[in-house]
């Protein structure tokens, strides 16, 4: 386990975790959700590139988490201890006060939901209290959003490209955020599992 990763979870205090991925991302996010501590005291927001008719994949993510997992709804309050997943074909955004909103605006980086859209809104909503995590994916979505999180004082984790099913997304994120903590999926999961909020 990475001691650096664990220290980033502990201080300064986290307000939210945002996770995103594309190709290979469903399995990777499922691994991380399964590792979340039982006494989770922050909301977790998830955006994944999947087709609008791909809801059959959601049970893989839902089953993995000990925290309750919800498909995000417009106007919903993101409560600590729960996971909120962007519905297929909608951008997921969060505002100050942890209020969620959904948008059918144009695709960003050919994707809806877009990681950049969610990450950038989280950077404004949570300032330095957000941890942005990018896992496996086949395009550069999320790189600009992760840079926004860092610019606001937040923390950034990226799955090591050599351990990702698709390495383009992690490589783009590392290029945009050179000081991101680069970890294997196992190291990320171990840090989350050892975290005591």
The CATH number of residue 35's host domain is 3.40.50.180
pLDDT digits (tens, 9 = 90+) for 30-73: 999 999 998 899 999 999 987 766 555 566 666 778 889 999 99
Q: Which domain holds residue 65?
A: 3-194
pLDDT digits (tens, 9 = 90+) for 6-22: 787 776 789 999 999 99
Going 36 to 53 to 109 to 102, the CA torsion angle's sign is negative
105 catalytic residue (yes or no): no
Which one of 47, 49, 91, 136 is the catalytic residue?
49
Quote the Cα angle for 154-132-67, to 5°: 120
Task: Determine the Cα–Cα distance for residues 14 and 112; give it in Å rounded to an integer.
Answer: 27
Q: What is the pTM of this model?
A: 0.93
pLDDT at 101 over 90: yes
54 catalytic residue (yes or no): no
22 catalytic residue (yes or no): yes
Number of domains in the chain: 1
Please, which residues have CB within 8 angstroms of residue 11's CB and are 6 or more apart in sequence?
Answer: none
pLDDT digits (tens, 9 = 90+) for 126-155: 989 999 999 999 999 999 999 999 999 999
Give every strand in the sheet of 155-159, ordered side by side. 69-71, 83-85, 44-48, 16-21, 130-134, 155-159, 181-183
Which one of 91, 121, 141, 167 is the catalytic residue?
141
Q: Name which of 58, 62, 72, 43 is nearest 131 in CA terms.
A: 43
């Amino acid at each position: 386990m990475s001691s650096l990763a664990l220290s980033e979870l502990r201080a300064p205090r986290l307000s939210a975790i945002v996770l995103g991925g594309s190709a290979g991302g469903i399995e990777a996010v499922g691994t991380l959700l399964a590792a979340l501590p039982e006494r989770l005291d922050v909301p977790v927001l998830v955006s994944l590139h999947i087709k609008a008719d791909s809801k059959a994949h959601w049970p893989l993510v839902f089953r993995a988490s000990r925290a309750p997992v919800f498909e995000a709804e417009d106007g919903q309050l993101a409560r600590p201890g729960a996971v909120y997943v962007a519905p297929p074909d909608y951008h997921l955004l969060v505002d100050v006060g942890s209020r969620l909103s959904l948008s059918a605006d144009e695709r960003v980086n050919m994707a809806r939901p877009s990681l950049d859209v969610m990450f950038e809104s989280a950077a404004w909503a949570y300032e330095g209290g957000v941890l942005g995590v990018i896992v496996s994916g086949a395009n550069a979505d999320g790189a600009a959003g992760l840079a926004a999180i860092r610019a606001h004082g937040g923390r950034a984790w990226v799955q090591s490209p050599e351990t990702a099913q698709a390495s383009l997304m992690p490589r783009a994120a590392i290029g945009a955020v050179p000081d991101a903590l680069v970890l294997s999926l196992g190291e990320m999961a171990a840090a989350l599992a050892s975290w005591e909020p």
